[in-house]
Amino acid sequence: MVQQQQVFVIHALRLRGPASASDIANRFDLDLSMVRSSLNRLVKQRLARRYEGVLAGWMLTVSGRAEGERLLAEQLVASGFHDSVTLLYQQFLVLNPQLLSICTDWQVRLVGTQELINDHLDVQSDALVLQRLGALHHSAIRLLSELTACLDRFEGYSSRLSQAHERIGIGQTEWLTGPRIDSYHTVWFELHEDFLATLGRRRSEERVHYESAEETPADSEE
């Protein structure tokens, strides 16, 4: 039981670090006292350390990241869904550049060859961006349903993305890219990191996947 809890603490640090003990506990609904005990063990094992300063909080060491990936790999193999999760990751790689493009187009607009901060005066243009987000959200929720059926650890992403999408839909558009809230982009970035940690991948490896993914339309799986 203690080992399983420590897996969640290490993984929460990977997704949220630098983070407070409370942040880590909240990520997977863990007991706060257990989280603190686990953090102390991780420090003794040189798998985590606490940083002070502007970005104060607990973070994994290089060894801690490697240990977390090892534990997640064991969990994935034991689940019997390695190939399925890998396939879903490939589908995510089709959606990821689309989401990044949506966020960019929401934040900036092209005037001639110059990129300017989007003043959101062009209502029609903004509506088209949000329409693209709606289509992507539909695909993302379907993907997450399949992913959660493989690993229930991924539960929560769907509801968090849907909550952000609903807020955007009622005009609270800061929930698209806001960095200090559980915005669509914030949750999406965490989901991406979760895929990487689960499969032991690196972002630097993904360009090849993007290039091959672009050959297949995002909606081909619909």
Dihedral (Cα; 154, 155, 160, 163), 10-degree rounding:
140
Same structural domain for residues 84 and 103?
A: yes
Q: Are residues 93 and 188 in the same domain?
A: yes
Please say which residue of 76, 101, 117 terminates a domain: 76
Instruction: For residue 78, give both structure tokens.
Output: 């034991």
Check whether the bond before 18 is cis (ω within 30° of 0).
yes
Helix (H, G, I), strand (E, B) or coil at 1: coil
Among 35, 50, 76, the domain-final residue is 76
d(CA 28, CA 79): 19
Q: Are residues 171 and 216 in the same domain?
A: yes
The model's pLDDT over 109-168, given as tens digits with 9 standing for 90+, comes to 887 788 899 999 999 999 999 999 999 999 999 999 999 999 999 999 999 999 999 999
Helix, strand, coil shares of the chain, percent, nearest 5, are: 70, 10, 20
Question: Given pLDDT bands bounded at 50, 70 and 90, which one contains residue 222?
Answer: very low
State yes or no: pLDDT of 31 exceeds 80. Answer: yes
Q: Which of 76, 95, 114 is the last residue of a domain?
A: 76
Domain with residue 56: its CATH number is 1.10.10.10
Q: Quick check: 49 pLDDT over 50?
A: yes
Whether residue 33 is found in the same domain as residue 108: no
For residues 71 and 85, state if they share a domain: no
Alpha helices (H) in 17-61, listed in sequence order: 21-27, 32-44
Query: How many domains are contained in the chain?
Result: 2
* Mean residue pLDDT across the chain: 90
User: 7 is in which domain, residue-wise?
Assistant: 2-76
